A and B are shown apart, each in its own frame.
Chain A
Amino acid sequence: MSHTDHNNNSMFKITLNLTMAAFLAGIIIGVVFFFTYEKAEEQKKLQKELSMKELVPDAAIFVPIEGKHEWFRAEKDDKTLAYLLLAEQKGFDGHIKMFVAVTPDKKVIGYKVLSHKETPGLGDVAFKPKFASQFTGKGIENMELVKIQEEGKILAITGATITSRAVTAAVKHVLVEVDAYLTQGPAAGDTGVHTETKNEHK
């Protein structure tokens, strides 16, 4: 670049130059933000509903539960079909974040993983139907991980016991929470289902 003109080096000019650039950037971003924000929010909600819908296809709406973080009630025709809770559990490598759906009579419907860092092909088998379907319809008394097939229990994945245990623990925890909530009222239990203490999101 040929800008070696020394008169050009005044503090004012430099500052102005940068400020103008920042101003333009601010305007552009501000405008785009203004026009996309609502759509994005909508999308976010939609995404969440989609995953919840996958778990409880029959539900018409998902109502956030008062005073609880990321708890939802799946309703249809004013009837509670299920409770959906966001659970987080330490897995083989990192935390597994998943939605767990539980019927009002405290049986598992299923779970859907939102994010995880388990090994592909090993740990993530636990999120595939073959393993996940074991939970369907089971209650808290069945939430026990075994390594050899046993009636009514959860059979661990060979080579991924840790992940299996994490998933089982998360589901069990949700069952406990829901149980407490239903039997003792809204004040009981955590505000969120997290077995690890972790700072909550904004």
Chain B
Amino acid sequence: MLRRIKGGVHPHDEKKSTDDKKIAVLPLPKKLFVPVHQHIGQPSVPVVKAGDEVKKGQLIAESADGRGTPVHSPTSGKVTEIGNYPHPLYGKSPCVVIESDGLDQWQEGLLTDRSWEVLSAAEMIDIIFKNGIVGMGGAAFPTHIKLSPPKDKKIDTLIVNAAECEPYLTSDYRTMIEYADDVIKGTQIVMKILGVQKGFIGIENNKPKAISLMKEKCKGKKIEVVELETKYPQGAEKMMIKAILDKEVPSGKLPMDVGCAVQNVGSLKAVADAVEKNIPLIERVVTVTGRTVKNPVNVMAKVGTPFTELFDFCGGFRGANGKIIMGGPMMGMAQVSLDAVVVKATSGIVSIADNEVDLKEELACIRCGRCIDVCTMRLLPNVLSILSEKGQHQTAQTDYNLMDCVECGCCYYVCPSRRNIVHYIRQSKAKNAMLRNAIKTGSK
């Protein structure tokens, strides 16, 4: 049965150019710039200094407060510097710069071969923490925290988010096709950790191959593959839960509050690798695509690889570039510079041509209500944008549920006035946060 959500949009999926491209392996870059801040929360603290020799998989930064995730060296070589370098999300942020020695030598003690079935949940959570696993669906939320819900929250269902509803991106799809066993294994591990009996894999119906493959692999495993209507933002976890279980996660609450956990397929593969082979999260599948990219690819790229290397691997550009986006075109972050690097949350890099960059001017809201019709969170996006424009950020939060917005961007996508609704909403959120901080720290 096809599951649907109300609202949402149908952007052209543009996945043709990469969905049959095997995951290639990127040649080893000469220098890697590994940011110490790759998850939601406090940045980690470097534990190496300039001049240190490091091995592949060696710990180079530690969680500052025990809630963040550690960072590991993606290759072997020498730390040349710890300095501020472009980060694809935060502008500039401290990076451990590693000059590769070309050997790509693993640190000892990794690459074990153990069966997840003999490990206890607590042990596995520890392994996941130590190997620096974060959610790879985009949010980069530390996975070990997600897997240790408070005692009073009973989780009974795991949902594997394989929707990949963003246009262009095919990294999750390729992961499912090429690492199907790892994904299933990861699912089983997480199910064991959470002690749940029921697992679902939600896949949009524009990926029939993945659906049939997953169906076959899941036979006899208490995991059910669910076909979802192709509709953005089907992959947002609240929508996933709504479509599969018909439960709505209340405002300000988490999936665990309705007894669910949602994990991205990439995260599950990383979990499987960490638990069975003790491999930390140092590389991931990245889709490099877009109309101006000569040869779009899916590539296994090391964390800390500059985007230039990836585009180089694709044979460079054809035509003038307008925007480079880290992530998908609906939620991704536009980059100021190609010097930004791959982080754990980089699912794709999309290049948009000069003439594709939509520079139509923003107009006043004409109250057409389209944004309201497509908002899956049932907000009033136009009102939020206007409140933000007029500086009433607090009202947006108290009266119009500002914080419920998941920034999916459907509202902008349909807005005939091309209002930067999402940007306005993010501005409100940022300003409210600044105000909260100012109040907390006592005004100056």
Would A and B touch once assembled, by the CB under 8 A criterion? no
Binding site for A on B (CB under 8 A): none
